[in-house]
Amino acid sequence: MSSSHHNLSALNKDQLPDASAMLFGIVVSEWNNEITESLYDGAIKTLLDSKAKEENIIRINVPGSFELPLGAQSLFIQHKVDAVICLGCVIQGETRHFEFICDAVSKGLMDLSIKHNVPFVFGMLTTNTMDQAKERAGGKHGNKGVEAAATALKMVEMQKQLRK
């Protein structure tokens, strides 16, 4: 079924791991602030619903989505978090700028994940319009922030299980 027909953030919260002993970083882009704050709200609610402690969630802001990888790396190096959730929003314009930003951020976060063996979660919306971004930031298609937090929880738990 096409993603245009259902809520992408529907998840069974009972199947998410207990986050009470996990430490998270969240990096939020200030660009398209209306969207990124909604993504943050979804992410933080998901973490807290999974028993994460407020004092174990560290937030920093960066000017735009392009800065997410450096912000994420800086947060990780300073605080040694178990996962970093990166939240941003890039909306297609008339130039190729969109492609360069999206490619750079996704590659940057993947490189960080591999380099540090820590989940650097891609919670960036890449939409054609502001309306599409709103639909994916708490609208009819759910909230990408919820999905990013769920991914972070599951990846931290997976790594914990592999270390056993």
97 among known catalytic residues: yes
Catalytic residue selected from 5, 97, 116, 141: 97
Average pLDDT, the chain: 92
Q: For residue 43, give the nearest of 135, 152, 126 by alpha carbon.
A: 152
Length of the chain: 164
Q: What is the pLDDT of residue 88?
A: 97
Mean pLDDT of 100-113: 96
93 vs 133: which has the higher pLDDT: 133
What's the pTM? Answer: 0.92
Q: What is the rounded end-to-end Cα distance, in angstroms, of the chain?
A: 37
Per-residue model confidence as pLDDT tens digits over 17-54:
999 999 999 999 999 999 999 999 999 999 999 999 99
In contact, 119 and 86? CB cutoff 8 Å: no
The three-state DSSP-derived secondary structure of 94-139 is CCCHHHHHHHHHHHHHHHHHHHHCCCEEEEEEEECCHHHHHHCEEE
Q: Which domains does the chain have, with CATH numbers?
A: 21-163 (3.40.50.960)
Pseudo-torsion of CA 135, 30, 115, 92, nearest 10°? 50
Q: What is the pLDDT of residue 12?
A: 67
Q: What is the pLDDT of residue 2?
A: 42
Q: Copy the structure tokens of residue 24.
A: 């998270």
State how far the alpha carbon of 90 is from the alpha carbons of 121, 139, 141, in Å: 16, 17, 17
